[in-house]
């Protein structure tokens, strides 16, 4: 553990001791508590070899979630791979907003997630609303496979229909509205919203490993919002809601796009850092 922490520190990684514990737990198959209890035991050669291989991956700044193959979101375990964005705590703000705006947990809501990724938004909502039915749209077939595994592991696969589709294609809503089975009581999305020129400048864990398809929001960062929000009036039932995650400083423009589309934007929801993170609008 000490040697691993030293290597991580030299690579400029924060919380090196904590991450060293995670890597050694993964390599040994032991829990953190078991590692502490057996800290003076001799480490088997196979565990040393595996730990060094995992450490080398992290030194190259591969995200810890990809190395471990899992990330917690809303208290639930989600499988992740380089095909999907790593779920982030900021995105839990969207779940909080939806639960506040749609408090009836027993209602059979009809939910659509545009840009499914790991499925963390849609599948979490299906867990919170046990009578709801969900549809997820995802352009990446590799990401779709990850989301399907998560749906099965979380016990909601029977209420989740996961489809391949891409809002970047002209006429996407005309082609997909009928297969999607809309309109919906709730449409959610965490779309790509990083400015194209800024993506290469992100921290290496993101720019070098996470899928650019899920990061690059175009020259101004609003390409996905333009496509999604323009389709909103057809996707959302009367009285329904759209809820989208926003990048820092983007909430005002997203609210304007909602209004231009004929939807009624509401006060943005702030994340734990005080940033306007989620914009919602009613139809």
What does the pLDDT read at residue 65? 97
pLDDT(177) > 90: no
Instruction: Please give the radius of gyration of the chain, using alpha carbons only, rounded to the nearest integer.
Output: 20
What does the pLDDT read at residue 175? 83
pLDDT(271) > 90: yes
Query: What is the rounded distance in angstroms from the CA atom of residue 154 to the CA atom of residue 249?
Result: 34
Where in the chain does DSSP place strands (E)? 70-73, 76-79, 110-114, 133-138, 160-164, 184-189, 236-245, 264-265, 269-270, 276-282
Query: What is the rounded distance in angstroms from the CA atom of residue 225 to the CA atom of residue 217?
Result: 9
Range with the poorest average pLDDT among 64-68, 172-176, 262-266: 172-176
Residue 6 or residue 36, greater confidence: 6
pLDDT 10s digits, 126-146: 999 999 999 999 999 999 999
pLDDT(15) > 90: yes
Query: What is the rounded distance in angstroms from the CA atom of residue 182 to the CA atom of residue 111?
Result: 9
> Could you please report the per-residue DSSP string of 64-92?
HHHHHTEEEETTEEEE--TTSPPP-GGGH
* Average pLDDT of the chain, as a whole number: 95
pLDDT band at 39 (very low <50, low <70, confident <90, very high): confident
Mean pLDDT throughout 226-253? 96
The number of C-alpha atoms within 13 Å of 30 and in the hemisphere containing its C-beta is: 17
All structural domains of the chain, each given as residue ranges with its CATH number in brackets, are 2-60 (no CATH), 71-282 (3.40.50.150)
pLDDT 10s digits, 188-219: 999 999 999 999 999 999 999 999 999 999 99
Cis geometry, peptide bond prior to residue 183 (ω within 30 degrees of 0): yes
What does the pLDDT read at residue 182? 78
Mean pLDDT throughout 54-73? 97
- Tokens representing residue 83 in the block: 């095909």
What does the pLDDT read at residue 170? 85
pLDDT(97) > 90: yes
What does the pLDDT read at residue 173? 87
pLDDT(169) > 90: no
- Name which of 99, 97, 76, 98 is nearest 87 in CA terms: 76
Where in 148-217 does DSSP place strands (E)? 160-164, 184-189
pLDDT(36) > 90: no
Mean pLDDT throughout 46-50? 96
What does the pLDDT read at residue 123? 98
Query: What is the rounded distance in angstroms from the CA atom of residue 162 to the CA atom of residue 153?
Result: 15
pLDDT band at 178 (very low <50, low <70, confident <90, very high): confident
């Amino acid at each position: 553990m000490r040697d691993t922490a030293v290597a991580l520190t030299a690579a400029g990684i924060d919380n090196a001791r904590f991450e060293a514990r995670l890597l050694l737990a993964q390599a040994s198959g032991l829990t953190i508590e078991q590692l502490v209890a057996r800290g003076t035991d001799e480490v088997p050669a196979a565990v040393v070899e595996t730990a060094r291989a995992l450490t080398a991956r992290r030194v190259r700044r591969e995200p810890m979630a990809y190395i471990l193959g899992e990330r917690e979101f809303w208290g639930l375990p989600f499988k992740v791979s380089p095909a999907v964005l790593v779920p982030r705590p900021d995105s839990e703000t969207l779940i909080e907003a939806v639960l506040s705006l749609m408090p009836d947990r027993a209602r059979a809501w009809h939910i659509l997630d545009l840009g499914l990724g790991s499925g963390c938004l849609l599948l979490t909502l299906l867990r919170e609303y046990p009578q709801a039915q969900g549809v997820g749209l995802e352009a990446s077939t590799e990401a779709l496979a990850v989301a399907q595994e998560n749906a099965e592991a979380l016990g909601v696969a029977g209420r989740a229909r996961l489809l391949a589709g891409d809002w970047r294609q002209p006429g996407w809503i005309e082609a997909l509205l009928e297969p999607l089975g809309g309109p919906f009581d709730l449409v959610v999305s965490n779309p790509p919203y990083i400015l194209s020129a800024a993506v290469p400048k992100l921290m290496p864990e993101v720019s070098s490993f996470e899928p650019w398809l899920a990061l690059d929001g175009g020259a101004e960062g609003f390409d996905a919002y333009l496509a999604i929000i323009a389709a909103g009036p057809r996707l959302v039932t009367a009285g329904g809601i759209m809820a989208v995650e926003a990048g820092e400083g983007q909430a005002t423009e997203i609210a304007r796009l909602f209004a231009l589309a004929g939807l009624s934007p509401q006060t943005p929801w702030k994340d734990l850092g005080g940033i306007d993170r989620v914009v919602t609008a009613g139809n």
